[in-house]
Amino acid sequence: MIFLCAIKLAPDSIFETAITLFQRGGMVMWPLLVCSLIAAAQAIERILCYTRERTADALAGKNMERIFAALALGHFKEAEKVASETASGGGRIILAGLRQRDVALRDALTAAAELEIAALRRGLTVLDTIITLAPLLGILGTVTGIIRSFHMLSASGAQDPAAVTGGIAEALITTAAGLVISILSLIPFNAAVSIVRRRTRGFDQLVHRVVVTCERGGSNGA
């Protein structure tokens, strides 16, 4: 577990300590481990996705200028051709709109923008679920551990309370693990939400700009 790295131990003993704490945490540590792996994989996948989108936008800058220059002159076929060669979210949105320009330009642009936004949001529900689920699993592990500790206390007739308190301390491992997984998942989740919101505003502005430019250039013909 990632939180175990915070323990000030020699590098060669960290792994052994992690295994020991994992075993002491009980069965609930297994679903917590699954949650941590899923969250890490999802966060990495989103980072790669947003990096690709950002790179595509940077490379598509000149093409976007050509598209709007063609639209302003009413050269819709040329704009559609350039848009088809533009591998970015903005290019795909414009292409979808121009293909239905004579029917419902704004509706087509909006629908394409929604598809792009949905792709950007993919996987965020998983992270959001883990943010909520991990602490609950941690608490569940702690509760079951405390129940087990008090059962031991009852069985031993209070002869060794130190063993019981030690068991309670170990039961808290799952709560700590769940909280750390939740916190570390929250960071990429909030970053992703911020990116999606920013891209949504950008797509809204793009749709408006395309509609206005097409209306102004429409009198020039295709």
Average pLDDT in the 41-58 region?
A: 96
Percent of the chain with pLDDT over 90: 68
10 lies in some domain: no
Residue 152 has pLDDT above 80, yes or no: no
Residue 80: inside a domain: yes
- Structural domain total, the chain: 1
Structure tokens at 111: 């629908």
d(CA 156, CA 164): 10
Q: Looking at residue 219, what is its pLDDT?
A: 59
Query: What residues contact residue 152 under an 8 Å CB cut-off, 6+ apart?
Result: 163, 164, 167
Q: What is the pLDDT of residue 154?
A: 72
Query: Nearest CA to 181 among 44, 48, 4?
Result: 4
Q: Give the C-alpha separation, 20 to 162, whole Å.
A: 20
String of DSSP letters for 97-159: HHHTHHHHHHHHHHHHHHHHHHHHHTTHHHHHHHHHHHHHHHHHHHHHHHHHHHHHHHHHTTS
Domain that residue 39 falls in: 28-217
Give yes or no for a contact between 180 and 3, defined as CB atoms under 8 angstroms apart.
yes
Query: Would 20 be classed as within a structural domain?
Result: no
- Phi/psi for 83 (5° steps) reads -65, -35
What whole-number distance in Å separates Cα of residue 82 and Cα of residue 199?
22
For the chain, what percent of residues have pLDDT higher than 70? Answer: 86
Q: Has residue 130 been placed in a domain? A: yes
Q: Residue 175 — very low, low, confident or very high, per pLDDT cuts 50/70/90?
A: very high
Distance from C-alpha of 221 to C-alpha of 214, rounded to nearest angstrom: 10
Cβ–Cβ under 8 Å, residues 174 and 140: yes
**Mean per-residue pLDDT for 173-188?**
95
- Would you give the DSSP letter of residue 95? H
Residue 30, pLDDT > 60, answer yes
**Residue 23 domain-assigned?**
no
**What are 78-121's pLDDT values in tens digits?**
999 999 999 999 999 999 999 998 888 999 999 999 999 999 99
pLDDT grade for 220, boundaries at 50, 70 and 90:
low
Task: Return the pLDDT at 103.
Answer: 82
Whether the per-residue pLDDT at 191 is higher than 70: the answer is yes
Q: Which pLDDT band, with edges at 50, 70 and 90, does 160 fall under?
A: low
Q: Which tokens hold the place of 204?
A: 């809204």
